[in-house]
Amino acid sequence: MTLSLVLRVALLALKRNLLRTCLTMLGLIIGVGAVITIVALGSGAHASIEEDVMDAGTNVIIVSAGNWTSGGVRLGMGSSSRMTADDAEAIRTQVRGVAWVAPSVRTRRQLINGPLNWSATVEGTGVDLPMIRAWPVQEGAFFGRHDVETAAKVAVIGSMIRDVLFGPGINPVGRSIRVGSQPFTVVGLLAAKGQSASGDDQDDVVYVPYTTAQKKLMGVTHLRSITVSAASADAIRRVAEDIRGLLRIRHQILQGEPDDFRVRTLDEIVAIRTRTTRTMTTLLAAIAAVSLIVGGIGVMNIMLVSVTERTREIGLRVAVGARARDVLLQFLAEAVILSCAGGLMGVGLGYALSAGITEFLEWPTVISRPAALTAFGVAAGIGIFFGWYPARKAAGTDPIDALRFE
């Protein structure tokens, strides 16, 4: 019996019981579709994390003020006031492999333009911030070193601030706003960047020279953080360790005493989020894979029922000259067709669900071609695995007993 004849006979047998055939494939369709959709959600989450990292900047190391203990009372992270602009300059000049350095302090103030007002974050920073965060200026320019040295009252605003205080599409460069009670001149408008990884609106912020924020808005001399960009991705870990060693020396921290600062790289943050995402994706994919196993068992059950129902047919085929191998191939072909057809429909379902989730729920999904091929391959393998026993049973049927079967 030729392969084409085997496939034609198998298709005719499946077509005779079309409803049962469709119900048998349903388990595989759901299983394959669920696996592809869940992997697409996991891949989308991972891609979103990478996009957030790119938004935050390249090769970034964040040095934050740490804990300060007073009278035995630990005041918590961010309470230390020992980090200064001199520390930032020391990192720039003494740590090998540093490309850019931006000191930072942050406060919240009311912004006023005539009758319009808005409460927003005001961040004092250095001139290197646009390079660190790869953040282009849409209108005007970022403030310069002279503005930092003279504590000039100049500001660079995000697109959200522009829309609220001046109106969408208006060029605010050269116009004045009040930050608290202080008048500032807008010198630049940053390109829209959207939400950060933590959910903050990056466009709802005003950047001013950190010296201006320290002296004229906050009345402090310390920094909240220092953002550093390493010259290359390979140098991040070494640069982070060198920064830690330098600051311990500058802050006169004795051996065995804890740091009064914290050095973090985005790699560490990404690794934590990626591990969490991967764990959840694996767990959900494993649950979805159970549907494939259940679908395979359904294929085996239906094939066993089919063998029982067609016992006389099997006996008749053997009696007129069909070999056991021919009967084995026929029933195995039916199982494989069921599984492959279910796998293909499941792949289509997975693609459709992923597109629907992105379109209607606005969740990012990235369809993984290897995951789709693997899910389809597993479905086909399940057909062979679970279809083998019923096919063997059909092939081993005694023709005399089969012809007597009622």
**What stretches of 86-171 adopt beta strand conformation (E)?**
98-113, 116-125, 137-140, 154-157
CB 84 within 8 A of CB 223: yes
- Percent of the chain residues past pLDDT 70, beyond the cut: 79
Output the average pLDDT for the chain.
Answer: 81
Listed range (68-77, 187-196, 265-274) with the worst mean pLDDT: 68-77
- Exposed e or buried b per residue across 69-82, where buried means at least 16 C-beta atoms within 10 angstroms of its C-beta: eeeeeeeeeeebeb
Tell me the C-alpha distance between 309 and 20, whole Å. Answer: 13
Task: Provide the pLDDT confidence category of residue 73 given band limits of 50, 70 and 90.
Answer: very low
- The β-bridge relationship of strands 225-230 and 154-157 is unpaired
252: tokens are 């006169």
Tell me the C-alpha distance between 210 and 215, whole Å. Answer: 9
CB 121 within 8 A of CB 206: yes
Please report, for the chain, the start and end positions of each structural domain, with discontinuous segments joined by +: 3-52+271-404, 81-259
CB 296 within 8 A of CB 289: no
Question: What's the pLDDT tens digit per position in 241-264?
Answer: 999 999 999 988 888 888 888 898
Residue 134: pLDDT over 70: yes
CB 19 within 8 A of CB 347: no
Which residues neighbour 377 within 8 Å (Cβ) at sequence distance 6 or greater?
Answer: none
